[in-house]
Chain A
Amino acid sequence: MTAYVLRRTGGALLVLLLLSVAVYALFYVAPGDPATLACGPRCNAEQIAQVRDQLQLGEPLPVQYLHFLQGLVTGRDYSTGTGVLHCPAPCFGLSYQNDQPVAQLLASRLPVTASLAVGAMVLWLLLGVGTGLLSALRRGGATERVLTVLTLTGTATPVFITGLLLLMVFCATLQWLPFPTYVPLTEDPEQWAWNLLLPWTTLALLESAKYARLTRSATLETLAEDHIRTFRAYGLCERRIVGRHALRGALPPVVALNAVDLGTMFGGAMLTESLFGLPGLGRLTVESVRTVDLPVVVGAVLGVGAAVVLAGAVADVLYALADRRVTLT
């Protein structure tokens, strides 16, 4: 197990290193000169040269990249001519927009995205696993067909349509819910939940079909297994067989897929966040791309990469915990 964790961590670091090289290259392939971008539209040539010097852009490319890596580990100081701006580790650089360290910026947006992702996950699991289980038990019947159509419709409809429809119906017409704004969980848990309910539902509708299909097929597969026949032959009633034995067998793939999906969600559900005006990581990424705020883009991409890689490892561990026959090597 220790060996597994060590190897997995090593692999993850390697992936992130390669990703950082690719992303760092953005600075030089993206349109516009980094110094000009960092300095702002009103800078004159002399100021731009000064910024270029501060950002050490005159040095050879590999050296700049090494500085960047070093900054990730130890932090970095940027002189502004008048003073020194400290960027604590892990330093992805300073935002061109407001000179804020990128890591700080990301951290401030994380709770929003986390709230959205975790809440949506709970909903899509309830919806997806529930529907999947129901369609497995009622296979071939009208219930299954209706459920299948409903979940597939949810998946096939783009977020901006589902979301807008929900907004129109529940906020504009019925006025049951407020137009979503982000209220931190720590301030007012009730408002937090009410405001996030529509974004959660939007994402859950999008994701649940996948879980419904997976749960359905995994449950059917388990129901066809010999050990289910054993418990039938030992007089267990059908509800107990499904609840205790079939569902248990269907869980491992669901758990593993869920970990990966959750990791991806942490990358920010850009459409959903933009649609509902939630200041999360996804919206930050979109904004920074629009304003060519390169350090923020780099930081966001690396952050998402880390989340996805971590989620993959967590998925493996969870799978092994859910199915003890699996050993991690």
Chain B
Amino acid sequence: MTAPLATEPATEPAEAPAPADPLVEVRDLTITFPATGGADAVRAVDGLSFTLRPGGALGIVGESGSGKSTVAATLLDLHRGTGARTEGTVRVAGTDVLAAPEADLRALRGATAAMIFQDPLSSLDPYHSLGDQIAEVHRVHRPGVSRRAARARAVEALDRVGIPDAARRARSRPHEFSGGMRQRALIAMALACEPRLLIADEPTTALDVTVQAQILDLLHTLRTETGTGLLLVTHDLGVVAGSVDDVLVMRGGRAVEHGPVTEVLGAPREPYTRALLAAVPRIETARERAAHAGVAYEEEGREAGAARRGADAGRRGPAAGRPADSPRPAGPARPDDSAPPADSARPDEPVRPAVPAARTAVATVTDRVPRPTTGDDDHNGAPLLEARGLRREFGRGGPLGSVLGGDRTVAVDDVSLTVAAGETLGLVGESGSGKTTVGRMLVRLLDPTAGTLRYRGRDLGTLGERALRPLRGELQMVFQDPVSSLNPRRTIGESVADPLRAAGGLDDATVVRRARELLERVGLDPAWYHRYPHEFSGGQRQRIGIARALAPGPRLLVCDEPVSALDVTTQAQVMDLLAELRRDLGLSVVLIAHDLAVVRAASDRVAVMRAGRIVEEGPVDTVYDHPQHPYTQGLLAAVPVLDPEVAAERRAARARV
């Protein structure tokens, strides 16, 4: 608990305080959410102070549960009326936000300081057109403006953020826009009243890299043109690198480090910042991930209860279950998500000791499940799985399809790929490129419309359900969302045991024992067998999902965005686990991800998908270092970089294009 952490910024930001009053001034802000239903009160923000000068840009970064979004919402006192207790002072453009009367606060919201939310689809009213929504906000703050003038203003704002044909598109509802266009529309709403401060809460998290780059460029342009201040909240260090002047790193409701972006990212002083930076997968580095910074820091703020992750217990002992040449440093690991959740209302749960037992579990589990590597057909060069000309259409079909006006969408078109035994194939592409559809076809969760699928010499694509059943266990899938892919009403042990029971032939005691071994294998305490999914953190839930996929003894694991919902440090741990399993069990893995860096770190070969087709495929280093297809080149160029100067250069390059 002795954290070597500064609770206050170690130094003031480099610039001398601006002569004008600061745009935002936060002093000793503490926010406590009251206890609900057995859970203790949560101190989400704990004594935070910072300022933002007019026209300046501050990035607040931190992992989920660090309190960063809570701070953003407090600038508009969005917690008012929710029961949250806020202490300290928050001044935005001269208004004492926490003390301001309701009417003053409403005048501030949207007009002086406007907020841009993370998910633009759910943040806009689905029942009204975009133009109407923007016009409505404008009229609320400019009561004299006529309906017609407000609508014209909305069109102007939409045009300003780069929505083509704005006059016509203003009449569309949010669901008729793509993700990037929706985020532009939300920014247009923020601009409608020419605010002095933009508060962007994870504005690009739901977007593809290329779109993310566009949105960040847009924010930058608007800021430089109008002198609007920007407070950017994000978990992605790459996003802040190119977008802000100052960075505030938060953890457990407190400021860990605060300073100019070049210093914080270039020469971080605090171990936590270094660990955070180290956990970011780098697109530049080759296969084996660069050594994680060997820093030790301890979980603090447990009493704050804000951090969802539990105590900092080394899941494995130093380098346990890891080959000797692993670049990973010995010593206490990064914060691990496999400890019991801090808020699971069982504070007395003993922290699981570092167990070399993980290795024992490998032996016990894999002795019983067929080892893929023992099959003599695995090393004779023939691919484990081979797809030729896969095609998948969605929509109404059949002979009546054309008559009844059904139109078919081609999600995947002529995709051919192979997966060798023990190999990891990365599948990257933007949303809608068809990568998930391909993944599901590979394990026959979806039937291909056309094309052949051969698995160990058998024609997988045309097997009937009955003939397919014995193979189902060998082809397993790990899903993106560990929350919705686990049954909330079954204990995690039961969820893992289900595939074993479905296979039949095992008595109950054996099934339970094996399920416990599997839990241990993925770094969870077997004693948690009887717990329910909601008691676990995101990373732990993904481990449960992996344990369930391992249960029937698969040879091929299709992982569909296995880490996209996780924080960087947790993400790195889950990827490590997958790599370890692949090595120890000889699994073949198809890794589907939109995060190019994650794929590079984990894959042997990579296939780039776009609009249902594979545009480029090859060994991972070749594709990343010498991309041939313009689409791949664009994709790689859009990946945010951690170096602020490089980020600025790239932005300039994009602007020139």
Contact = CB atoms under 8 A, between A and B. Distances in A.
Contacts of B126: 227, 249, 323-325
Given A234-B189, A235-B106, A236-B137, A227 B124 contact: yes
Interface string A233-268: 111110010001100110000000000000000000
A227 B122 contact: yes
Q: Which has the most chain A C-beta neighbours within 10 Å: B126, B127, B137? A: B127
Interface string B391-429: 000001000000111100000000000000000000000
Contacts of B111: 235
A226 B123 contact: yes
A227 B396 contact: no
B137 to A, nearest CB: 5
B187 interface: no
A225 B117 CA distance: 13
A1 B126 CA distance: 21
Interface string B92-127: 000000000000011111110011010100111111
A324 B110 CA distance: 27
Interface string B124-149: 11111000000011001100000000
Interface stretch (A2-10, A72-80, A210-218): A2-10
B352 interface: no
A329 interface: yes
Interface residues of B, number: 33
A230 interface: yes
Contacts of A234: 109-110, 114-115, 137, 140, 189
B128 A235 contact: no
Contacts of A6: 404
Interface string B183-204: 0001001000000000000000
B78 interface: yes
B78 A232 contact: yes
Contacts, number: 85
B175 interface: yes
B178 to A, nearest CB: 15
A227 B140 contact: no
Nearest to A227: B125
A2 to B, nearest CB: 6
B404 A226 contact: no
A227 to B, nearest CB: 5
Contact of B78 (A3, A229, A240, A325): A229
B609 interface: no
Residue with the greatest number of chain A CB neighbours at <10 A, chosen from B105, B124, B125: B125
Interface string A1-39: 111001100000000000000000000000000000000
A contact residues, range: 20 to 34
Given A225-B122, A236-B137, A249 B127 contact: yes
A231 B106 CA distance: 10
B107 A324 contact: no
Contacts of B76: 233
A235 B110 contact: yes
Contacts of B119: 226
Given A229-B78, A236-B136, A324 B122 contact: no
Contact of B109 (A1, A235, A240): A235
A235 B113 CA distance: 10
B133 to A, nearest CB: 8
Given A235-B107, A235-B111, A230 B123 contact: yes
Given A2-B405, A234-B189, A229 B109 contact: no
A244 B133 CA distance: 11
Contacts of B186: 230
A6 B175 CA distance: 27
A233 B78 CA distance: 7
Given A248-B127, A325-B126, A230 B117 contact: yes
A3 B395 CA distance: 14
Nearest to A1: B405
B140 A236 contact: yes
A220 to B, nearest CB: 15
B183 to A, nearest CB: 13
A3 B403 CA distance: 8
B173 A229 contact: no
B100 to A, nearest CB: 12
A229 B123 contact: yes
Interface of A: 1-3, 6-7, 225-227, 229-237, 240, 244-245, 248-249, 323-325, 329
Given A227-B123, A233-B110, A245-B125, 11 more contacts: A229-B117, A229-B123, A230-B186, A233-B115, A233-B117, A234-B137, A236-B106, A237-B140, A249-B125, A249-B126, A324-B127
Query: Which 5 pairs of residues, A with B, have the shortest CB-CB distance?
Result: A234-B110, A235-B109, A3-B405, A226-B122, A3-B404
26 contacts: A1-B405, A3-B403, A3-B404, A7-B404, A226-B123, A229-B78, A230-B123, A232-B78, A233-B109, A233-B110, A233-B114, A233-B115, A234-B114, A234-B189, A235-B106, A235-B107, A235-B109, A236-B137, A237-B140, A245-B127, A249-B127, A324-B126, A324-B127, A324-B175, A325-B173, A329-B406
